[in-house]
Amino acid sequence: MDSDNLDNSDKIEQHVDISGNTGDITVIGKIVLRVTRFIDERILKQLGWEQRVGFALLMVAGIGATFFLHQTLQPRSPNRMAGDFRIAVAGFAEKEHSGDSEIGTELAQGVYLQLEQTFNEIETGFKVEIWGPDQVDETVKGQNHDEGARSAAQVAEKIGADVLIYGWVDTTDVIWQVTPEFYVSADNFYEAEEVTGQHNLGAPFSVMGQGNIATRREVSGEFTSRTRALARITVGLAYYSVRDFKTALSFLQSAGEIQEWEDDEGKEVLYLLVGNAAGRIGDLELARTYHQQALSLDPEYARAYVGLASVYYMSALKPYEETGSPMKTDLNLLSLAITTYKQAAQAAHQPPLSDIPVKVHFGLGQCYFMLVYSGNEELFAPAIVEFEAVIEAHADGANPRVLEMAAESYARLGLIYDLSGHSNWAIENYQKAASLLKDNPERQALYEGRAQAISDETRGQ
């Protein structure tokens, strides 16, 4: 219906619908009706003119005060961040029943101030917004890393943060344990699932637990190098999110130059990120070196195994890319990639929300596909199983973190079925891939074009 043709009652209903708060308007309306009915004409007749005006003004003021009080008491939607890249620091949570010190908030505030100072000194070319613990107004909860990571994801989603820095302070003993972590949201890191999820920032460090100035200075001193490194890491992540991988690499490498930052304070995370950035710009040798350095610090670090396996896979494809012949694929490197992916699946340190099993399935699917495509295996069945496992993990959007891998798995299945002569299945899978890539018009158009080309070819036969 054209809005110009709405009568007054329709317009009121439309306004109520837009407000999204029909209950409030109904309550206030009832108050107005009750007060209005109370003012009987017989009462007004007994009042003088000035008294009538005064009474009416009093009535209006009462209604206004009631409305204001009612609105004030209503829960409000949480404020959300609005920058191009958004970093938030939540108050470090103290272990349950551990006392009433404010060391967690003070620690978080120190991180926030360091980040703010670092970004003030850098011209990024885009707006970076940083929130401190007072603005976040929420601490990450949970009794272990998994629960904490899921809580961090919820807080980040609630306020719209791309990176959420948080941590834990265990004050149950005389010696306090401080554990810093950070979470990278998948929302602003399209096709960069290698960096999303939870990251530790080194092993917990200990401080004397008096909760006084001496403690705060000790904590500040212990955490300074990690905070400085974290500031540079977040700068690198900011550039990573806008796909300026060369600049991201530069900032990430600069974090490793902080002399006070020890190996056990989270450097394996830095090496992982540097390796990923190097791989993104095609420097596979540098990427391999840094992933291996990450594993030298943490031999059970599943993320680093996935990164290293990806380097082996891309290196195996180099001869094929240079010659155009799949037969030139380096089978030794391809075999090494398969072995390394399997090591990732078995590694003990699989950070929460890092989706290691899904990444392993996708990586193995690519390797198994190339074995057939290069003429060294006869059947695509192992590759199909791996790609279908990725799609199952995505579960029609239940796990949005693996959306891109699910879309590419559909596309790989489309290619497999096309090569195998199953045109209808190929078209169906390319169309499903395209349907998941609404935020990537270029890839979406590519797969829509492939589905259409197969369809045209089939009709022409």
Shared domain check, 125 and 24: no
Domain endpoint, select from 32, 53, 73: 73
Domain boundary among 243, 262, 290: 243
In-domain check, residue 190: yes
Residue 6 included in any domain: no
Would 414 be classed as within a structural domain? Answer: no
Quickly state the pLDDT bin for 280 (edges 50, 70, 90): very high
Identify whether residues 55 and 198 lie together within a single domain.
no
Supply the pLDDT for residue 309: 98
The pLDDT-based confidence of 57 (bands split at 50, 70, 90) is low
In terms of domains, do 176 and 159 share one? yes
Write down the pLDDT at residue 50: 53
Query: What integer pLDDT is reported at residue 389 of this predicted model?
Result: 98
Instruction: Please say if the pLDDT value at position 252 is more than 60.
Output: yes
Nearest Cα to Cα of residue 293 among 260, 351, 253, 332: 253
Q: Alpha helices, DSSP H only, in 74-162?
A: 103-120, 133-136, 145-159
305-318 residue pLDDT tens = 999 999 999 999 99
Q: Which domain holds residue 33?
A: 16-73
Q: Does residue 231 fall inside a structural domain?
A: yes
pLDDT (0 to 100) of residue 100: 46
Per-residue pLDDT averaged across 448-456, rounded? Answer: 96
Of the two residues 270 and 262, the one the predictor is more confident about is: 270
151 shares a domain with 53? no
Helix (H) or strand (E) holding 165: strand 163-170
pTM: 0.76
Share of the chain above pLDDT 90, in %: 48
Report which of residues 230 and 304 the model is more confident about. Answer: 304
Nearest-Å Rg of the Cα atoms of the chain is 29
- Region 148-169: what's the mean pLDDT? 91
203 within domain boundaries: yes
Q: How far apart are CA 131 and CA 122, in angstroms?
A: 17
Residue 373 lies in a domain: no
Taking residues 352-364, what's their average pLDDT? Answer: 95
Model pLDDT, residue 67 = 47
**Residue 310 has what pLDDT?**
97
Task: Give the mean model confidence (pLDDT) for residues 324-334.
Answer: 96
Q: What is the pLDDT of residue 78?
A: 53
Among 169, 162, 161, 170, residue whose Cα is nearest residue 137: 161
Average pLDDT over residues 333-344: 98
Q: Quickly count: other Cβ atoms within 10 Å of residue 309's Cβ.
A: 26
Which pLDDT band holds residue 145 (cuts at 50, 70, 90)?
confident
Select from 268, 224, 246 the least CA-distant residue to 118: 224
**Whether residue 29 is found in the same domain as residue 159:** no
On whether residue 260 sits in a domain, the answer given is no
Statement to judge: residues 166 and 92 lie in one domain: yes
* Amino acid 212: pLDDT: 52
Give the residue from 33, 56, 73 where a domain finishes.
Answer: 73
Q: Residues 221, 104: one domain?
A: yes
Does residue 99 have a pLDDT over 50? no
> Is the domain of 50 the same as that of 95?
no
pLDDT over threshold 90, residue 220: no
Whether 283 maps to a domain, the answer reads no
Check pLDDT > 80 for residue 40. Answer: no
Residue-level pLDDT at 356: 96
Question: Does residue 55 share a domain with residue 117?
Answer: no
Domain count, the chain: 2
Does 21 lie in the same domain as 91?
Answer: no
Provide the pLDDT confidence category of residue 207 given band limits of 50, 70 and 90.
low
Residues 65 and 185 in one domain: no
Helices 302-323 and 267-280: crossing angle in degrees, nearest 10, is 20
How far apart CA 278 and CA 315 sit, in angstroms, is 13
Query: In CATH, what number is assigned to the domain containing residue 163?
Result: 3.40.50
Average of per-residue pLDDT across 417-436: 97
Q: Taking residues 101-115, report their average pLDDT.
A: 80
**Mean pLDDT, residues 34-47 taken together:** 45
For residue 20, is pLDDT > 90? no
Q: Characterize the bridge pairing of strands 128-131 and 93-94.
A: unpaired
The predicted-structure confidence for 224-241, as pLDDT tens digits, reads as follows 777 778 888 888 988 998
HSE-up (13 A, CA, CB side) for residue 345: 14
Question: What is the average pLDDT value for the chain, to the nearest integer?
Answer: 80
Residue 205 and residue 93 in one domain: yes
